Amino acid sequence: MDLSYQPATSILHPGSGAKRPCILHPASWIGSEATLHPASCILDRERSDPSANIQNIRYMWKLLLPFLFVPVLLHSQPVIPLGDSDFPGALVTNPTAYDPESIWNYMNTGVDLYLEYGFKSVLVQEIVWEHEKVKAEVYRMGSPEEAFGIYSLLVINCLQRDTIDPYNCTNLFQYQEAYGDLYISITCESVPELTRKHYLPVTSAIKMKNQEKVLDLPATFNLPAVKKGRGNLAYIQGPVGLQNCMFPIQDLFLSVRFGMYATLLTQPDNDVYFARISFETPGDMFRFLGYAGLMQGNVPIPNTNRNDGLYREYKQLDAQTIYFLQSQVPFPIDGLINLGQ
């Protein structure tokens, strides 16, 4: 198609011979041919020249890019900080905030894990009493699943778990909670025996100022037989998360795009790894099933006993979602689910 510019009469004054703007719409490059439109990048030359077209397109994209990111910025709601009035008699420090670009100035390690889980921002404050001090970190993640995911990979040595709210962990030196899009961490900065009493009041004050909808887990993970493994439940959605989890199935996800709830159900003579996996495409699902030994040619098979003694089974829920189970001895998925009902 000839893209050369031809002189045209003015839109406002037909027949005047005045040149009007010739517009090359960026979207018009999609497909086999380009088309000329009456509004976009202006070419004020008698004849269009390809380098000028490219320069004008680049110029228009530079103007548009800031507006394209406005919805993203508006969607990421700022975390509301604590104030002195929240804790009379204590000193509440001014908040310090970090975003995906500046988080590297705050964390020495683990940034890649946070970014994989949709990290938006973190607000950091200290609350200081006469003899006690805690540090509050409130991370805003990309979604409730991602907030639960980062929480599930970071909790360790819980003395109490899921006692006050659905997803929380308390140990001597730290309190952690997944609450909506937020991952909340309250850490002890003084004598832990004296400081632990402040964990819940500080968390409650944060939640009062930043109200979120609590994550609803897939119903299967609330069945009694599966809920027994709640302390091992994790949400994983990428290679960094896989590297930081305890599940021995990392090699099944090479070049696979997914989101997965997974748990370990311990039996007297059998460890059962059970997962609900949502794949980005059916192709990702078939790639996973192939790595798991659950394909014969191009046809999926429901279960397999491997030479290394592992039993694997899957059950399809929809075009891109499955249950997956791995154990030392056969342990059917339907049996697990029926046992929990």
> Rounded distance, CA 275 to CA 256, Å?
15
pLDDT of residue 275: 97
Mean pLDDT of 304-308: 84
pLDDT of residue 339: 65
**Residue 179 identity:** Y
**Residue 41 identity:** C
118 near 99, Cβ under 8 Å? no
Distances (CA, A) of 195 to 93, 152, 172, 176, 191: 17, 24, 9, 15, 6
CA atoms within 13 A on the CB side of 52: 15
130 near 137, Cβ under 8 Å? no
Q: CA torsion 244→249→252→254, rounded to 10°?
A: 20
Rg of the chain taking only CA atoms, in angstroms? 28
Q: How far does CA 124 lie from the centroid of its chain?
A: 21
Mean pLDDT of 306-329: 93
Question: 22: pLDDT confidence band, cut at 50, 70 and 90?
Answer: very low
Answer whether residue 44 shows pLDDT above 50.
no
**Residue 296 identity:** Q
Side by side, the strands of the sheet bearing 303-305 are 234-236, 258-267, 270-279, 321-327, 311-318, 303-305
Backbone dihedral region for residue 268 (phi beyond 0: left; psi -120 to 50: alpha; all else: beta):
alpha
Average pLDDT, the chain: 81
Question: 231: pLDDT confidence band, cut at 50, 70 and 90?
Answer: confident
10 near 16, Cβ under 8 Å? yes
Percentage of the chain lying above the pLDDT 70 cut = 77
pLDDT of residue 288: 97
Instruction: Among 22-36, 215-229, 314-328, name the most confident range.
Output: 314-328
pLDDT of residue 341: 54
Mean pLDDT of 23-30: 33
pLDDT of residue 76: 61
CA atoms within 13 A on the CB side of 123: 16
> Rounded distance, CA 179 to CA 149, Å?
11
> pLDDT tens-digit profile of 272-302?
999 999 999 999 999 999 999 999 999 999 9
Answer whether residue 236 shows pLDDT above 80.
yes
Percentage of the chain lying above the pLDDT 90 cut = 60
**Which token pair is 327?**
């154990």
> pLDDT tens-digit profile of 246-282?
899 999 999 999 999 999 998 888 899 999 999 999 9
Backbone dihedral region for residue 337 (phi beyond 0: left; psi -120 to 50: alpha; all else: beta):
alpha
Report which secondary-structure segment, H or E, holds 137. strand 133-140
Question: 230: pLDDT confidence band, cut at 50, 70 and 90?
Answer: confident
- Full-model pTM: 0.76
Exposure letters 47-70 (e unless 16+ CB within 10 A, then b): ebeeebbeebbeebeeeeeeeeee
Answer whether residue 214 shows pLDDT above 70.
yes
317 or 35, which is more confident? 317
> pLDDT tens-digit profile of 147-196?
999 999 999 788 888 776 789 999 889 999 999 999 999 998 887 777 88
